[in-house]
Amino acid sequence: MIGRPESADEALWPAAHDERSWALSIGDEDLHALAEQIMDLPGAVSDIDTEASYADSLDPFMTAADLAGQILIKAGAIKRDPAWTVGRANEMLIELIGLGSWVNQLGPRFEET
């Protein structure tokens, strides 16, 4: 099942809230800052309108992608493991490519502009 962007708040926000609470409980400022970024992600993703045109979808896609990239880089910096960051980025790209191939079999999703 593919999650809908408009459901991101329901799916992601509780987990992000738990991460922030945990970071606060242990007093780790870096993890708290990361958790704050994670809490912004559900809102960014839920702004994506799957019924909108490509042109109307581009800004929300870019905002969500940029935030996700910042989160990944910050997490890698906290771990002090650049190889972990590259590995996670590669995994995400593989999932996106796989998902894109699957979705494309369903037919065009966006209007061409």
- Tally of structural domains, the chain: 1
In a domain, residue 93? The reply is yes
In a domain, residue 111? The reply is no
pLDDT tens string for the chain (113 positions)? 455 666 777 777 788 888 889 888 998 899 889 988 888 888 888 888 878 888 888 898 899 889 989 999 999 999 999 899 989 888 888 777 765 544 444 445 544 44
Here the tokens at position 54 are: 């490509």
Domain extent for 98: 5-104
